[in-house]
Each structure stands twice: as structure tokens, then as C-alpha cells.
Amino acid sequence: MSQNDCQEHENEEKDYGKDYRSLNAEQLESKLKTLISNVAVIFELSDEQCLKLLQKYNYDKERLLEEGYSGEDALKSVEDVSQTSEHNDRQAMINDYVTKSRYLKWCPNGGCTRAIEVDYADIRTVRCSCQMEFCFSCDRGPHDPVPCDLLSHWLENNQRDSLEKIIFESKPCPKCGHLIQPDDKEDMKTGSVWCLNEECRQQFCWYCGVEWVGEHYDCEDFELPLNEKHEKLVSDFKRYSRYHELFTTQKENLEMEEALREKIESRETKTQYLQETLSKLLDCFRTLMYSYVLEFYLNEKCNANIFKQIREDLQTDSAKLLEKFLKLEEVDDSIETKKIVQEMGESAVKKRINLLKNCAEEIKNDNWTFDEHKFIEM
């Protein structure tokens, strides 16, 4: 990759996050003063009155203007707002501005005093000037390309081992389909179990699955009847397990960060380019990890061929780069080797950005729909 190509790629990466900015206290105060001045011109009120008016509407100028207030209406609305001493405290005023505005959020990095301002409230990954990255919408770490609501649903239900036990050690009631896990050993001796669904309470045979009527016959050679609900449950679990495994593999790759960084630091020659390339590789692992969550919920009817092809290419590049780091003792410090490793990192990052852009465009254009009910419904 030529120097011009590298520069072009760096610019492309910067453009990907151009819809937000990191602001210090002075910049925040300046923006608040400008906002107050703009409102003062519209309603012909004092700065103090405009501040109170803006606070009432969480510093959302558009929402305030939608009320259609006249100057007199605005003044009456201000009079209904109770006065607090905090308004005269510069830091308290800035903190109130950041806390209430849906376009501002404090950087979660301890010790950092900057805030992030976004151009639209549903933006996700942002990076502060201190290099801290987080999701502006949900306050988690970066999780592109999966939307916040789908990630929340995945994390809340991500209990593979317990689900496996329930599905494969349970049997459905032949009457209502409720899954039963008998824990009474006395019942198991006879094979008679009762449905735990209070609205059903059907007695049935644990071994053959038929209703228990009177004296139950010998069911040793009886073939358990097909239960479509349970079969679907098993099928859904196998699908979920596949994505869970893919998700876990990338998560384990991310957990190698500390060991790999120590490996780099242990080299006699300190090579900053290796640390920088490792950071890019970890970003790729994170994007891959969350891409599986997105695909898990993606409606099968949606066309995701481009997405899958880009991801496959990203997987290939990431695997090759990881192999370099795992065999770091074979990597020398020559200019040629440095160039090769850096180009591998840039190639992976470019595919990562293309993957994120593809997902963002498909979601923005409503080409993709998602279904939370794809998760296993017990």
C-alpha cells in the first residue's frame, strides 16, 4: 500500500466518525451561551430567562420552538420554573447542560472532563479525545454493527448451558406443551409425572410421553410421539448454539489482548507499530463478534450476501494477522517485515470499515429487518 493510499484510508476512517466531537468545559460553556443567545433573539427575553426556558425543555431548541410560543407565552412558561442557586454556578450549569441534553454525554473515562456532542441522538460508537470509545446510545463499549436493543436482548438471554439443560433434559407435556423437568425421584420410579402448568396439571408418562390414564401399559418399546413445539425448540437451540460459538470465539480472541501486548513489550526492540496494529486487530475481532449477534436476529428473507462476503474477507485477514502475533518470535524488526505487518493491519481495517458501512446503509435504508422472537422461546 502506497503512502497516499494509507493517507486516504486514514481520512476515510476519520470521516466515519465525523458526526460527533469531543468538547472541553470552555467549549461547552461557549455552546451553551450561543444557544441562550439564539433563544433570547427569538423570544426577546433575558439570558437568565432563556436559560430557565431551555432547562425546562432539556436544552432542546427544536422541541422548544415546536411549542409555538410567543414572547409572552415564553415568559409565562419561564415564571412557572422554580429558581435554583445552581444556575449561578458555572460548573453546575455546564453539568446540567450535558446531563439533560440528549445530544451531549460525559466521557465515561475516569478522570476525563470532556463531553461528547453528537449531531443526532441515535448515533452509536464515539471516541473521546482521551481515546476512550463507547456507545453514545447505551453507554456500553463499542458494539457496532449490532443495534443496542438487539444486543440487550442477546445479553439478557445469553445462557447457553442452562438452556441446553432445559431443552435436552426436559420433555413437553402432551397436552399443553409446557416443558417439564421432574426432580422427584419417587415419581421417576413409576414414570408418572404431572405438568407444572397450573392451568393444565396433566398427568403423563415420562418415558413415552402419553397421557397417564388408569394403569399405564408397558412402554419400553414405545416410540415417543413427535412434538413439533419441542422439535422446533431443539432446532432453534442448535441455531443459537452456532452463533453463540462464533460469538465466543471472537470474545476469546479479544481476551488475548493482555498476553499479546506483554509479548510485544518483552521484545528487545520496542516496536510501536506492533502495538498499533494489535489495536486494529482487536477492533476487527470486536466487530466480527457483534456481527454474529446482528446476523442471528436478521430476517432470513433479507439479502445479506454483501455483508457475509465482506465479513468472510475480514475473518481471513484477521486470522492471518493473529497468526503473526501468535508467532511473534518469528517476526523480525526489518523495514520489510514492518511494511508487511502494517499493510496486513490496514487491509483488515479497511474491510472492517466496509462491513460497518454496509450494515449502516442497509439498516438506514430499511433493507434489513430483525426479529427478537428468533431467540429461543421457552
Partner residues linked to 172 by β-bridges: 179
pLDDT digits (tens, 9 = 90+) for 355-367: 999 999 999 899 9
Residue 65: per-residue pLDDT: 86
Would the pLDDT of 313 be above 80? yes
Closest CA to 123 of 18, 23, 22: 18
* Arithmetic mean of pLDDT over the chain: 83
Q: Give the confidence band of 190 by pLDDT, cuts at 50, 70, 90.
A: low
**Which of 37-41, 42-46, 314-318, 350-354 shows the lowest per-residue confidence on average (mean pLDDT)?**
42-46
CA distances from 272 to 229, 265, 267 (A): 56, 9, 11
Residue 219 has pLDDT above 90, yes or no: no
Is residue 314 predicted with pLDDT exceeding 80? yes
Domain ranges of the chain: 17-142, 151-157+229-374, 175-226
Query: Which pLDDT value is given to residue 376?
Result: 55
Q: What is the largest CA-CA distance in the chain?
A: 91
Least confident of 25-39, 147-161, 267-281: 147-161
**In angstroms, how far is the first alpha carbon of the chain from the final one?**
52
What is the average pLDDT across 200-219? 74
pLDDT of 3 reads: 43
Cα four-point dihedral sign 312, 313, 318, 320? positive
pLDDT band at 160 (very low <50, low <70, confident <90, very high): low
State how far the Cα of 328 lies from the Cα of 330, in Å rounded to an integer: 5
The Cα 298–Cα 305 span in angstroms is 12
pLDDT per position as a tens digit, 223-272: 555 567 667 777 778 888 889 899 999 999 999 999 999 999 988 876 88
Amino acid 49: pLDDT: 87
The yes-or-no verdict on residue 317 having pLDDT over 80 is yes
Assess whether pLDDT exceeds 60 at residue 176: yes
Cis bond before residue 145 (omega within 30° of 0):
yes
pTM check: above 0.75: no
Percent of the chain with pLDDT over 90: 47
Look up residue 197 and give its three cell numbers: 402448568
Report the length, in residues, of the chain.
378
- Residue 326 pLDDT exceeds 50: yes
Q: What pLDDT is recorded for position 183?
A: 61
Q: Is the pLDDT of residue 287 over 90?
A: yes
**Mean pLDDT computed over 314-322:** 97
- Across 89-98, 169-178, 179-188, 230-239, least confident range: 179-188
Q: Does 166 have pLDDT greater than 90?
A: no
Q: Which residue has the higher pLDDT, 180 or 119?
A: 119
Confidence of residue 2 (pLDDT cuts 50, 70, 90): very low
Residue of 226, 355, 230 whose CA lies nearest to 289: 355
**CATH number given to 151-157+229-374:** 1.20.120.1750
pLDDT at 111 over 80: yes
**Quick one: cell of 210?**
402419553
